[in-house]
Structure 1
């Protein structure tokens, strides 16, 4: 029965192409299996490759370990402090905060591997001339390895030194102790004594190089400061000399200078200022005296003034007058005013009054004289003060430039003093050999070799083997395009899976004779699935094809015919592979005449039908090989033969040729209801399968689905009995081990 191209049950060419593109572009797409299970299956598939690679790596590791010379590692431990010990309590050249930077320890580790340090160690131990050193590292000295003719002794020495330096750097290891300030310095060689010597010398030279760098930086700083001090000294002398010369030219005589805490001159007391201050004080005093004298001179009567009251003469005269006044009063009480004694006393009183008046007048005259003298002195002082003020003003104008000279001298003096103090401090700090590196453990001669370490080397070889095996398996998986599992059929091809046939060690035809065998159960499962592909159940006519030969299509055709015949149906098996027939050999039937004769014009079909040993199964062999099988299959006679045979048989099963490079299978597919497409597990590339399916569809054939043949369930990690109930015959799984293809 021809299959119409418009049949909705037939998959389209675009679906096959889309399925192939999806599988090609996104191989990690939807999968029914977990990722870890896929990895495990890949490991099982390539277990022999993995085992071989790991075994080879282990063998190489063992041989290399046994051939390696023993090496000894000596270790010395030091403590590197962030801050340098400050013995003198004088700040050194380096900043104390510099050691707290994150780069400090990284710098120290790099210095421990410096080329200059290796050269110092080589010179200290004279390793360039030590033949034992080269022997301890398995190296040959330069002259022994030189092939360019004789070398100059200096060239030999230079090359030896470079060779020694490179060997030292290649065999020293710097290992910081985590979360501490400790560092392990390890050196490895074939000589335990030499390893210990070099490890100890390495630390000693590291400490020495650190101190040398500090001393060198201090010496450079001292030299720089000496140059700066010399220049500042000259500038200071010049600025002080300029200030003195200018003061001399301008008659600026400094009596006293005051400086602040920074050494800057804040005020100066000159001779002119001191003179003006003294005269101004005298002027103030003279002015006060003049005011007082003027006040006394203009106060009126002088009788009750202080000068009069305190004058001894006037006081004595007044005392005598008071006595005479008392005596006169006493006389006037007893005598008349004309009494001679009274008149005599009166005349004495008058004489004393005249004397008092003269003395009082003299005192008043002295007050006027004192006022005139005070006024004259004040005026004289005012003239002198005015003269000094004019001179001081001129001197102050001159002092502006003088202060400029003075400030320049002060600045130079401050710089000079600061640099001189720093110079002394650096000199003290540079002469004290303090280091921030302390030796914790000295290197001891190792008693046992550190390498080769057989367990470690074997572990590394095992890891390398596993890694190489993983890379190899990954590469093999990437280049392997075969369909490996039933899930791959749905994921990669987007075609229904009719079933899968296991890989067995015996002849599959023999296995078919046992209904309880794995093969029989597998083909019965395929037959059951195939019965669901059409509305009327099991297709009455279908062909079996594959991409290429050897994928089990002939065996599958025979097996399906046998399984269908076992149910009481009459089945005709036709060998339509007119290029390489095989069913007659499987059933031990003569192939002298067959399908080729029918297609060539033979009208009698019944004589060409052979009964087989299988119940209900008959065979039309291929017959003689025609020169052009495609021409015979391309006419309508083949479809008419199938229609005619379906009148005598319940089902017609056709063994069709492979699809690749042949036109036979698409022609056969048009004459039947559909095809069952065989795919050999892990063999046929996906591109070939998709191309074959696409070609069948383009030829008008309907593909019912795919049968995965030669499926090794153990190799894929499924175990025995995968998908077929309880193990194909209740315990026969042990008999099925081996692995012979089913076709």
Structure 2
């Protein structure tokens, strides 16, 4: 591609891509009538649907489902224990509320299979039967009745809505029908039957539990009796007699004292006492002479006191008399008699101590033998007690199970199934206004559908329409620098707008001229042509406007209409076209005589002249080269309005005879493929493409009040748009 390289920033920036948000806004503004039409259609359809649809009424019953665990025994439950996860429990309740079996209960309770009005409203049909006629549902065959009931259940479930209340155990049961009274009746009946079905399940579970408990109680009673008989028989066989026992916290029976252990304890105490008595008797027997026993004998002490008294009397008598004195002899005899009595008593006491010792020793030995025998017997009992404890544990286990099951059996018998964990909080009332169709909701849905549909349509159109809509598409899709943009103009005021320096088109062309001044080292090219892919893309208008813009800065400009097949410069400048370029190329010698002055000072025009039979052949001659060379000496700039590229050879030929080419593109006109083909034809002859100009740009359609050139703002044009908006 022979594009102009190293263009200054001012020129190349004009094609910078706009932000995505503004891009979508441009598409919205551009396609706003399509969007409005589609959205309006969907809204109208929503309104019609709302007005024509059958009014439906929704009644709601609110119930509470309390969490509980139904235990039948302390060992196991009739129903599986509820998980700690509340979500699992309540999800089960929601599924039960929507169960087919519950819908069947409601249908039977309300006798809906015989309600012709309900069948008619639900549009239920059976093969070969029209319920709008006088056919009695009771006259149906069994197969038809089953089919009817199935369809009624399906209709009920389709109209039902279960809505749990977040962070609570409350559930709303809603039913929708075209009959408000029937809606309330079914909602309340649904809650009632849900409670009844819950009680039925409990009753069935309890009946099964009672049967299970009765069987287990009978089995445990037999096992308990058998184990108790084994316990008694084993105790008797091993002669293990329990005197005291206690039941621990774990329900186990523990034997505290048996007969053998009690006897051993008593014998041990007696042995201890006998040992103490034997030790005391042995100590007394080992003492010689007067021992403690003699000192403590009352008779012996009396005789000793009497002897002491008689001895005192005898001593007093001896003071006065001789020993031979009869009184003294009598006292002496009395003393001797007392001495003999005392000695005899002491001998008797000593003999008694030895006897006591021997008796104590014998008793101790007897008790020790008995204790040893009883210890051996107790050890044997303790060995036997291991098996006894095993049997006792079986007895305790069976007794605990038996007592627990018996207690639970009694509780079930007393309490029954009277308790229920489901209760009605608010009964459904007959609704006084329809719930559907809802005009606001349907309008919102219609709006949403319209937006989605219009979005899809616009997306499809954008994919199909690959014309240059956005100036930034020039560089992105065609690879050409964007030199500027020219706004769309009113045909009635076009001639005046081009001549007015304050109009939008004049400001836009000034931006184009500024960008052209950066293309060469001598500023705006001396000779250049404007062409397009096809006719009516605005190249002639742009050529004239650019020529006028150059004149405004004091340049002398020649505007050449080289589109000899469809000339238009003469019409724009209101000039005659009876002679012109075709005359010169056909052989006229003086091109200056063919130049026509215009009402714009500094601007001259060479019109196309009469339409030749072969314009391409004329342009291929060297006379056009000579024209450009000679005119370049008389004018500062030569602006050539060239024919379109596609379908003709004129434009490629002309591109070789000037400095470069400005490619004109109509906004939203030719598809990208056509533009690429046109640019390809120019590139095939090594034409120097300066860049592209986007014409007929609808600023309002683009959705932006940016300056023309997509980077340069023009106050006059923007002000005009703002004034129009305010008006």
TM-score bin (small chain): 0.7 to 0.9
Compute the displacement of 1:681 (Å).
Answer: 0.8
Cα gap change, 1:391 to 1:680, in 2 (>3 Å): same
Aligned residue in 2 for 1:305: 292
Among 20, 27, 30, the alignment partner of 1:45 is 30
CA distance in 2, matches of 1:565, 1:275: 146
**Contact residue 504 and residue 716 of structure 2 kept, 8 A:** no
User: CA–CA distance in 2 between the matches of 1:42 and 1:607?
Assistant: 50
Which of these residues, 498, 501, 518, is aligned with residue 484 of structure 2? 498
Q: 1:692 to 1:253 in 2, by over 3 A?
A: same
Q: Is 1:59 matched with 2:49?
A: no
Whole-angstrom CA distance in 2 between matches of 1:416 and 1:732: 98
Aligned to 1:163: 151
CA distance in structure 2 between the aligned counterparts of 1:56 and 1:37, rounded to whole angstroms: 27
CA shift for structure 1 position 187: 1.8
- Partners of 1:36 and 1:134 in 2: CA distance: 55
Q: What is the aligned partner in structure 1 of residue 562 from structure 2?
A: 575
Deviation at 1:604, TM superposition (A): 4.1
Q: 1:563 to 1:368 in 2, by over 3 A?
A: closer
Give the SS at the match of 1:144.
Answer: coil
Distance in 2 separating the partners of 1:219 and 1:596: 119
**Which stretch has the larger CA shift, 403-412 or 51-60?**
403-412
| Contact 1:10–1:703 (CA under 8 A) maintained in structure 2 | no
Shift of 1:201: 1.1
Equivalent pairs, count: 702
The more displaced of 381-390 and 520-529 is 520-529
TM-score of the two chains, using structure 1 as the length reference: 0.80
1:343-363 per-position Cα deviation (integer Å, ceiling 9, x unaligned): 123223222322222222122
Q: Which residue of 1 aligns with 2:311?
A: 325
Equivalent in the alignment of 1:335: 321
Cα deviation, 1:639-665, whole Å, max 9, x if unaligned, reads 455334435655433333434576653
Structure 1: state its 5+ residue gaps: 24-29, 738-743
Worse-superposed segment, 658-667 or 122-131: 658-667
Change in 2 beyond 3 A, CA 1:540/1:101: same
State whether structure 2 residue 467 is matched by structure 1 residue 482.
yes
Where 2:484 maps in the other structure, the secondary structure is strand
Paired residue for 1:203, among 168, 176, 191? 191
Residue aligned with 1:714, SS: helix
Cα deviation for residue 571 of structure 1 reads: 1.5
Match of 1:535 among 512, 521, 535: 521
Shift of 1:366: 1.6
- Paired residues of 1:502 and 1:710 also in contact (CA < 8 A): yes
Separation in 2 of the partners of 1:253 and 1:527? Answer: 130
After alignment, is 319-328 or 281-290 more displaced?
Answer: 319-328
110, 120, 123: which one pairs with 2:108? 123
Change in Cα spacing, 1:674 to 1:555, as seen in structure 2 (3 Å) is: same
| Alpha-carbon distance in structure 2 between the residues aligned to 1:196 and 1:61 | 28
2 CA distance for matches of 1:51 and 1:6? 42
Query: Which one of the candidate residues 380, 383, 390 is aligned to 1:404?
Result: 390
SS of 2:419's partner is coil
Deviations 1:492-526 (A, max 9, x none): 65613233142324385686577776656655664
> After superposition, where does 1:201-280 map in structure 2 within 5 Å?
201-280=189-268
Alpha-carbon distance in 2 for matches of 1:6, 1:199: 79
Paired residues of 2:180 and 2:432 also in contact (CA < 8 A): yes
The match for 1:726 among 716, 720, 723 is 716
Deviation for aligned residue 1:168: 1.9
Shift of the alpha carbon at 1:364?
1.2
Name the TM-score, length of structure 2 as normaliser. 0.82
User: Aligned equivalents of 2:363 and 2:118: distance in 1?
Assistant: 108
Which residue does 2:656 correspond to in 1? 670
How many Å separate the matches in 1 of 2:80 and 2:311?
A: 104
Other structure's SS at 2:37 match: helix
| Cα contact 1:562–1:614 (8 A) shared by 2 | no
- Once the 2 structures are TM-superposed, how far is the Cα of residue 106 of structure 1 from its aligned partner? 4.8
SS across alignment from 1:571: strand
Q: Is the 8 A contact 1:79 1:439 kept in 2?
A: yes
SS of the residue 2:639 aligns to: strand
Helix, strand or coil at the partner of 2:63 = strand
User: Given that residues 260 and 266 in structure 1 are in contact (C-alpha distance below 8 angstroms), is that contact kept between their aligned partners in structure 2?
Assistant: yes
Report the alpha carbon displacement of residue 470 of structure 1 after superposing the two structures with TM.
3.7
Distance 1:625 1:435, change over 3 A: farther
Which deviates more from structure 2 when the two are superposed, residues 478-487 or residues 67-76? 478-487
Question: Which of 184, 187, 195 is 2:172 aligned to?
Answer: 184
SS in 2 for 1:715: helix
Partners of 1:690 and 1:79 in 2: CA distance: 73
Range moving further from structure 2, 502-511 or 53-62 = 502-511
Matched, 1:417 2:400: no
CA deviations on 1:89-108 (whole Å, 9 max, x unpaired) are xx997899967835555554
Q: 1:57 Cα shift?
A: 0.9
- Structure 2 counterpart of 1:713: 699
Change (3 A) 1:342 1:464: same
Note closer, same or farther for the CA distance 1:175–1:261 as it changes in structure 2 (3 Å cut).
closer
**Structure 2 CA distance for aligned equivalents of residues 499 and 69 of structure 1:** 57
